[in-house]
Amino acid sequence: MSIKYVESSKLPTSWGTFEMHGFADDEADKEHVVLTMGNLKADEPLLIRVHSECLTGDALFSLRCDCGAQLQSAMHKIAVAGRGAIFYLRQEGRGIGLLNKIRAYKLQDQGADTVEANEQLGFGADMRDYSILKPMFETLGIKQVKLMTNNPRKVKALQEIGIDVVERIQHETGRNPHNAHYLQTKKGKLGHLFEEGE
């Protein structure tokens, strides 16, 4: 595995001050960060979110997805808990990259759903690689977690790299008229678990 720890620094935010840990993936030429708060090695399982980069949602406030709202909610929940971690992975567009994501958006504008658009571009529905998390967890000494996610594939991926997921915490937020079809596709075709009404 080509993931290497680089450095850590403080990151003051609206929700409190996190510690930001940088990791370099030389093989894929990507950089990932982990935001942490509090004692990571206490006996209680650590509240975490594994979040894939979404420039459009996280930074440009897009309503086409729920990503930005999920990131902010995770930061808030960790701050309230006083300890936790957010693994921010540079895997834009479920791993297809930003420019291909824009191409996929164009296909969605023409009627395709998010899975169909990726497939029409020659990609799988979800190209993300969660095995890259293993050296990050090892570096930070995290072994037991409570995972904020609606995606059962993330639970399975963490278990496969040896992380004890003691609880999956429902993480629904950001539903709006612009992303209703997107969320329905995530539930129907990608197996995401939602409790809110359609």
**Catalytic residue annotation:** 126, 128
How many angstroms separate the CA atoms of 61 and 18, rounded? 22
Task: Give the closest residue to 114 by CA, choosing from 65, 153, 68.
Answer: 65
The DSSP result for 18-57, as a single string, is EEEEEEEETTTTEEEEEEEES-TTSSSPEEEEEEE--III
- Distance of alpha carbon 47 from the chain centroid: 14
How many angstroms separate the CA atoms of 168 and 172, rounded? 12
Task: Give the closest residue to 112 by CA, choosing from 63, 103, 93, 174.
Answer: 103
How many angstroms separate the CA atoms of 3 and 114, rounded? 29
How many angstroms separate the CA atoms of 55 and 89, rounded? 12
- Tokens 């990050």 sit at which residue? 136
